[in-house]
A and B are shown apart, each in its own frame.
Chain A
Amino acid sequence: MRSDPLRKHRNLIILLVMAALVAASLYFIIPPGVKTHLGLDLQGGLEIVYTAKTSTGAPPSSDQMDQTVSILNRRVNGLGVTESAIQKQGTDQVSVSLPGITNTQQALNVIGKTAQLEFYYDDPQHRPVGPVATKDAALKQLKSQGASQAVIDQLSSTGTYDNKYSLVEAKPGVFGNNTSVWFVYKRPPAMTGDAISKSTAGFNSTTGKPNVLIDFTAAGSKQFQDITRNLYRTGLLKGQPQTFAIVLDNVMSSDPQIDYTDPTLRDGISGGAEISGGNMTVQDSKDLALVLNIGALPVRLAVAEQRSVSATLGKDSLHQGLIAGMIGLGIVLIYMLAYYRFLGLVADLALIVYGILLWGLFNAIPVTLTLPGIAGMILTIGVAADANVVIFERIKEEVRHGKTVRSAVNSGYARGFKTILDANILTMLTAAVIFVFATAQPKGFALTLILGVLVSMLTAVLFTRAMLGVLAGFAFFSKPAFMGVRTSQIEAAAVSEGRTAASRKRRTTTSTAPAAEGDAAAATAAAGAATAPAQNRGATTGSRTSTSRKKKKKRR
């Protein structure tokens, strides 16, 4: 086998390729900590999953969802969050992840807002109900005016009914009220947010309170002028001032009055409008200006899941995970070395290469590292080491059966590989199922598991095989002790091999006999006994020649 130059070359080529892969991985790893994408749970931040609902209650269309994602993207950019990720999930969900964000409340207010701005006339014809003290009272009043139960139900859950009614709440202070009051307005509104060209956060010149100033488009300007002119004229006719409501997402943000005694308003207001609802803070006004500028969402978003992790907690989790992983890896390395001696050393080297390759692969793709991902990585340390356990146990077994170390290595890999392949395919099958069906968190775990199993096949099988192939040229390699097989074990196994053909009763009586002894004489006798079953098995090499071969190699 050793005389075949092709084989030796092949092993060297494999080792060179592995060395190149390690170098490539190191390129992606160094400097550590910079190139790894950390998930929200490890670096802190905010993650929200929204469920989209249309105002009619019908499932949102794919166009509406795409539009939602694009608007959310612009809103998030407006917040100045880098590395945010906004993705559609299923047919009606959007997940938003904002790493490193500190002001979660502001983000929530800005992102999830529908930002549907509407202007309504306040007269009884346009506002059939209100102000009343509760939502239920408002709905009840509408029902008494002849609205069907279906209308009431939908209004109650979504806030609007087709393009007929809107339920509107006025927070304290907006309507000159101390507590919240409720209204029902008739749709369609006199004007919508589509008419806005630009909005800016500012301050009211007389009260000094924060507000948002709205500039209208040309068409919007005309609409607004019509509304205000109408209100001026009605006020003049009735002899009392008229108001109109500016409603944002079913909440009244202001209810300005048109002063009919001021003749400058005769032709209506053409410039712009001001929103200054309730107790608006400076931050509120800035946020509102931002969402109004970007535009309204075509759907309503309800929070399905929200997770905020502080940066400190994330850092702690990362450290704990890394420490656990390092200790785990260290213990496995020691275990392999203690149990398999020289083979263990090869396996340990493979494990370290495995760690470097997996890390490099994570950074290169890049895969976002999450807590479940760390758990997956640590678990795959076990999977990677296990592939070597399977093979090494095979090799040891073959050596105990009397094969030379080198042919034992060959058949150990050949037979072990089949088992490992079966086992790894099954692990990947289940990981794939998790990846496809599970929700976000376990997905990272499944992905790590799949990548880990694939990389482990490279390192634990291909790499160790090539290592052993190259090392097989050295004389020390042929000593069974290098892989933790004792001479006494060779005979013991040989005897037990002999017993397999016999009945169980004989086996149990003889099983306690060997192993306790262990001198050279017994070893040769046992090796002789082992030849018969070994030939039955169709083994390629006779065990009897093993001792003489060993001597030959030593001489070289």
Chain B
Amino acid sequence: MNFFRRIYSFDYMGHKKWWFTISAIIIAAGLISMFVKGGGNPLKGLNYGLEFKEGTRIAVVFTKPTALGDVRAVVTAQGHADAVIQQVSSSTGKSSFQIQTSTLTPDQQTALQTALNQRFSIDPQGGWNLSLVGATFGHQVVSSSIKAIVIALLLILGYVTFRFQWKFAVGAIVAELHDLLVVVGIYSLTGREVTTATIAAVLTILGYSLYDTVIVFDRIRENQPKLNRMPYGDMVNVSIWETLTRSINTTMITLLPVVCLLLFGGATLKDFAFALLVGIMSGAYSSIFVASPITTILKEREPQYRKLKLAARPEKT
């Protein structure tokens, strides 16, 4: 209970350096992982899904227990020695595999399916799920995703500047970049696959994190004229205390369904949910610990607030 009471009177703005350090450590860990895994090129330090590369991915279920080596032998005999084959699961006597190869022509697909079916008998109830991505498609996905992120950020910058002030917009954008880097870094650290679903989730996180930030900013804007005798940082603290219950409840309410997705959803939904989970937590954190302090720093450089801060300082020590 003591902890809960303390968070409603904690001096958040007075501990800026701590929050920045925490964020810096998390982001640095992610960036280092990207550099190391990517062999110097951070963009290569992520585990990209099929959509970003070219090739064929087949999820195949055999009606009886099958050994990985046997499957590999058949796939290699079909001329796909470079195939990556993983055993996914083996439940109720069936065994399922994921086979990843280069882009297969329809004829090659048929040949492989026939060969595997003859040898191991593929489950007729949905035992063959194939997805294929040609060379140009992955590039399209990457370029359209980057375009979407940049445009989203610019729109946000414009809207927040229009509704608030550029100093707020800077705080919001830094918080957004923070969330982006945290999510990307965690994807690199955990080696999770980056899919188009991840990209959509990341874009949603940008929106969500901003939503959270705007609610704090809204209160700051409201308190600014009312508490104009108070040092800016203290006024921001008050605003955070006042919106804290909302922040916690909102984060809980949004996270609960996302956790359900993560626990009960299928593979695609799990992908989505993981990115959202990390992003929502980071977004909730960044609105209080990144966006607000940065706006405070910018605002405290204004003459009137600098004076207030200086006047308050002797009391602080």
A interface residues, Cβ below 8 angstroms from B: 41, 44, 49, 51, 104-105, 108-109, 112, 302-313, 316-317, 320-321, 323-325, 327-329, 331-332, 335-336, 339, 371-372, 374-375, 378-379, 381-383, 385-386, 389-390, 393, 397, 415, 418-419, 422-427, 429-431, 433-434, 436-439, 441-442, 445-446, 449, 496, 500-501, 503-505, 507-508, 511-512, 515, 536-537
Contact = CB atoms under 8 A, between A and B. Distances in A.
Interface in B206-255: 206-208, 210-211, 214-215, 218, 222, 226-227, 229-230, 234, 238, 242-243, 245-246, 249-250, 252-255
A319 to B, nearest CB: 9
B200 interface: yes
A513 to B, nearest CB: 11
A511 B254 CA distance: 30
A256 to B, nearest CB: 24
B214 A426 contact: yes
A426 B11 CA distance: 29
Given A308-B128, A379-B257, A397-B242, A429 B252 contact: no
B210 A332 contact: no
B9 A393 contact: no
Interface string B118-156: 000000011111111110110011001101100110011
A431 B204 CA distance: 7
B315 interface: yes
5 contacts: A108-B109, A303-B103, A332-B256, A375-B276, A419-B215
A322 to B, nearest CB: 9
Given A320-B264, A397-B242, A431 B257 contact: no
Nearest to B135: A304
B312 interface: yes
Given A302-B134, A312-B125, A389-B250, A382 B156 contact: no
A379 B254 contact: yes
Interface stretch (B18-26, B34-42, B265-273): B265-273
Contacts of A386: 211, 249-250, 253-254
B292 to A, nearest CB: 16
Interface residues of B, number: 84
B196 interface: yes
Nearest to B211: A423
A436 B149 CA distance: 12
A389 B246 contact: yes
Interface of B: 5, 8-9, 11, 51, 59, 103, 106, 109-110, 113, 125-134, 136-137, 140-141, 144-145, 147-148, 151-152, 155-156, 159, 163, 196-197, 199-201, 203-204, 206-208, 210-211, 214-215, 218, 222, 226-227, 229-230, 234, 238, 242-243, 245-246, 249-250, 252-258, 260-261, 263-266, 268-269, 272-273, 276, 312, 315-316
A301 to B, nearest CB: 11
Nearest to B199: A442
Contacts of B130: 104, 306-308
B110 A310 contact: no
B215 A324 contact: no
A378 B261 contact: yes
Contacts of B207: 426-427, 429-431
Given A430-B207, A536-B226, 9 more contacts: A105-B110, A306-B133, A321-B269, A372-B197, A425-B159, A426-B210, A438-B196, A504-B234, A512-B5
A548 to B, nearest CB: 28
B272 A372 contact: yes
A504 B312 contact: yes
